[in-house]
Structure 1
């Protein structure tokens, strides 16, 4: 049933209603304007460079070049292929280009026009590309639907990888067994539910529980050591406040800058939450396919778990640079999926962003006192990347086999290996889907030259 759902979504293309089209275009205009103002960018790698730009130590063109260099591979190698294969929009396709266009724009009024133009390209151009691709002798978009199964199931393992890296093999083995049991039980007892949803929930809770336990144990040991030296934790805090919170002054200035533009951030939160509520947008690779299949609550779960891996990164980079994330802590994704109507999505999305921006300084202070939790977020992000890298590579080879059998695997796998040998001009995560599209085009050319017969079925 799930596979059919994905095929139907992809086969139908991106046939958006007028309100959906307008939402995408207006949101792209807004995100480009906010990027131009250096208030927020989507690319986490670009955010640290924003501090120099905000303070005038680097130029707009130089910052744009950094943004383009860090984003282009994800836009064309991951964002576009994922949207075409799942029939669901994603943040790499929408928000990375508006990062670039907003920074590129020399005038404030031009930025939203450029962003709206990109939104129109996505809304109208992508659907045309989808229809053309499905009419080709070698339909590589339908073949790319093969990516859904490995992405969904291998993504389930990211908590196991994170636990293993942070807490060792024994805890990793326990987490792995627990997740396997839960996946099998879910498939048997609740066949209509995404099999990895419960396993991921338990895995993330195990990781957080282990991290909090380690932090509490460390604080207890520190208090005991201080008592043995005849000092108290309170004395230590009052004597050396700067050592406990060395980034306080920097964080305070950045938080104040973001709070000054709170109404604009609330508008942004409302827009992103509304887009998620329409179920034409997925915040991640696995989420896109879950939404395509109609598994909305499971999609909300998946994106909710991802939040734990990104809150420390987004909070610290925002406080250090003065630029927030276009999707905030990404909480508006799962909340938006579950909203019953657009009006409520707008109200709640605005409220969520207001709370996030106002709480940034407090979150930074809390994270400073929980080093193991901070480390957990780093391990979570790395585990998500590792699991998705394998899943996307494996899924891309399955797509290659579906569209061209051995020759398809040779071309797609060869392009991927060539990218590795050349030092990864295309980022690793995007290299395999990009290779599928290039391979699909090449197989069509070979067909027209009467050198290749498409795989049947």
Structure 2
């Protein structure tokens, strides 16, 4: 597999700089309007803000509390170590700035300012860090191997949690065999590509099969109940009981407050369809330029030049987030900044920015228009809906281990045993203090802090950098 360059940079062309600045301005404006936010944890709180039961200050505080750790502990370290931008670095800050802005016209200005910081200041910080005696950014590239390979196992974890150890074992053996086969037969391909494809397809197949069996069983039970009820009604000579019950059921459905809320939220989002199409076009073009990765593994794959594999990885992630994004959007009236994230893999594969803009706008339009229909479909497929939650949890579990292990490898590369002591100690201290920094972001943040400390020790003549 192609390795990252020793000095991953954040140097962008003028069109790329302008796009990042414009997109950050747009996402801040959309967040100010409470039409979309990137943080899935913030979205459920948006309904109270939209309906006036919560203040802008309170909404901003929630967004900052849920996002700060990811921005500084994951987004910035990943961008600095790979030279590829990511959504935590771009879109979580614009969530906060957009909600913070008291005026509509100020929100895009604040967003554009953050975009300028990213494309200008971050590159300077990157170059400065690479010139230090202890180059902790280059050391952080050690994270790529555990992230890429352990991430491959997320379908196995999801299958095991949802369908038991037997199916989990089958999936594990299948993925291992496919990884070994890929490394042997197609050495230029990312080894986990086929394995992840097989695992995700297996999970979806098991979930759909279970739902179909359950629907058949429910239908058979309903027919049996109906047959018994008809016989009892004929025997009693009664009429009208069934129709009366049906009328009450229809009235109850018509007055379902959740159905009414979902309908109102979907209608609110459709009113701003042109704005969402512009947002979809911008995100898709950003992905097409290959300066942006939608996830941890994707960032390293794009940095290594494995574009098709990056598209594949982000496509699989979509299955884990469609139900979450659809239901929270329908419940809150606020969509996701990246939608269902389909624009990520589509953008990676587009041949030029113009086509990416057109396709991205069309994808977002279809997503917004189909929200109500998707919500209804998910209501009929409980196992598929559960699979989504298991996928998200499995992605989180596999990445937490991969990032921790990779961070310790980076610590060893930059400082040997002392590096491991500092980075591992900071991670354990964060755990003991009740995780003021979220677990997934704690280890990369510890690498940066550890790198700074090792440089200070070098200047104090207390540490000699390890020669690579």
Paired residue for 2:13, among 17, 23, 37?
A: 17
8 Å Cα contact 1:85-1:144 kept in structure 2: yes
TM-score with structure 1 setting the length: 0.97
2:340 counterpart (318, 329, 337): 329
Q: Deviations over 1:388-441 (max 9, x none)?
A: 000000000000000000000000000000000000000000000000000000
Shift of 1:247: 2.7
Q: Of the candidates 129, 134, 137, which is equivalent to residue 125 of structure 2?
A: 129
1:138 and 2:147 correspond: no
2:284 match: 273
Matching of residue 197 in structure 1 with residue 193 in structure 2: yes
What is the CA–CA distance in structure 2 between the aligned matches of 1:98 and 1:13, rounded to whole Å? Answer: 23
> Which of 393, 409, 433 does residue 404 from structure 2 map onto?
393
Greater Cα shift, 12-21 or 95-104: 12-21
Kindly provide the CA deviation profile for residues 79-108 of structure 1, in whole angstroms up to 9, marking residues without a partner as x. Answer: 000000000000000000000000000000
- Select which of 261, 264, 271 maps to 1:260: 271
**2:150 equivalent among 151, 154, 157:** 154
Q: CA deviation at 1:227?
A: 1.2
| Distance (Å, rounded) in 1 between the aligned partners of 2:273 and 2:13 | 30
Query: Residue in 1 aligned with 2:249?
Result: 240
Contact 1:7/1:145 (CA < 8 Å) preserved in 2?
no
3-state DSSP of counterpart to 2:467: coil
Cα offset for 1:2?
1.7
- Mapping of residues 393-432 of structure 1, within 5 Å: 393-432=404-443
- 1:377 pairs with 2:388: yes
- The superposition leaves residues 45-97 of structure 1 with CA deviations (integer Å, 9 ceiling, x where unpaired) of 00000000000001001100000000000000000000000000000000000
Deviation of residue 237 (structure 1)?
Answer: 8.6
Q: After TM superposition, give the deviation of residue 448 of structure 1 in Å.
A: 0.4
How many residues in Structure 1 have an aligned counterpart in Structure 2? 452
Counterpart for residue 109 of structure 1 = 105
Query: Is 1:230 the equivalent of 2:234?
Result: no
Matching of residue 99 in structure 1 with residue 95 in structure 2:
yes
Residue 231 to residue 413, structure 1, CA distance change in 2 (3 Å): farther
Q: Deviations over 1:284-316 (max 9, x none)?
A: 000000000000000000000000000000000
Q: 1:186 aligns with which of 170, 176, 182?
A: 182
SS state at 1:229 partner: helix
CA distance in structure 1 between the partners assigned to 2:44 and 2:339 by the alignment: 15
Query: Could you tell me how far 1:246 is from its partner in structure 2?
Result: 6.9
Mapped partners of 1:364, 1:211: distance in 2 = 17
Q: Quick check: 1:350 aligned with 2:348?
A: no
1:7 aligns with 2:5: yes
What displacement does 1:231 show? Answer: 5.7
- State the Cα distance separating 1:229 from its structure 2 match: 1.0
Judging changes above 3 Å, is the alpha-carbon distance between structure 1 residues 231 and 250 closer, same or farther for their aligned structure 2 residues? Answer: farther
Counterparts of 1:231 and 1:271, CA distance in 2: 57
CA gap 1:362/1:237 in 2 versus in 1, 3 angstroms = farther
2-side partners of 1:418 and 1:31: how far apart?
Answer: 35
Residues 169 and 238 of structure 1: CA distance in aligned 2, closer, same or farther (over 3 Å): farther
TM-score of the superposed pair, with normalisation by structure 2: 0.95
Structure 2 counterpart of 1:308, from 305, 319, 328:
319
Matches within 5 A, 1:26-65: 26-65=22-61
Residue 297 of structure 1, aligned match among 287, 299, 308: 308
CA contact (8 A) 1:270 1:349 kept: yes
Q: Which residue of 2 aligns with 1:165?
A: 161
Cα distance change of structure 1 residues 54 and 444 upon mapping to structure 2, 3 Å threshold: same
SS in 2 for 1:106: coil
**Structure 2, gaps ≥5 residues long:** 229-241
Q: CA deviation at 1:240?
A: 3.4
Counterpart secondary structure, 1:143:
helix
Instruction: From 63, 73, 79, give the equivalent of 1:83.
Output: 79
User: Is contact 1:397-1:412 (8 Å) kept?
Assistant: yes
1:341-386 CA distance string (max 9 Å, x none): 0000000000000000000000000000000000000000000000
Q: Which SS does the other structure have where 1:283 is aligned?
A: coil
Match of 1:368 in 2: 379
Given that 2:8 and 2:82 are in contact with CA atoms closer than 8 Å, whether structure 1 keeps it comes out as: no
Q: Secondary structure at the match of 2:133?
A: coil
Q: Using the alignment, how far apart are the partners of 1:2 and 1:445 within structure 2?
A: 33
Q: Check the 8 A contact 2:28/2:107 in 1, yes or no.
A: yes
* Over 2 Å off, 4+ runs: 234-247
Given that 1:28 and 1:112 are in contact with CA atoms closer than 8 Å, whether structure 2 keeps it comes out as: yes
Tell me, in whole angstroms, the C-alpha distance in 2 between the residues paired with 1:238 and 1:225: 22
Task: Determine helix, strand or coil for the equivalent of 2:434.
Answer: coil
**Once the two structures are superposed, what CA deviation does each residue of 1:123-170 show, in whole Å capped at 9, x if it has no partner?**
001100000000000000000000000000000000000000000000
Distance 1:23 1:394 in 2: 35
User: For residues 240 and 337 of structure 1, what CA distance do their matches in structure 2 show?
Assistant: 48
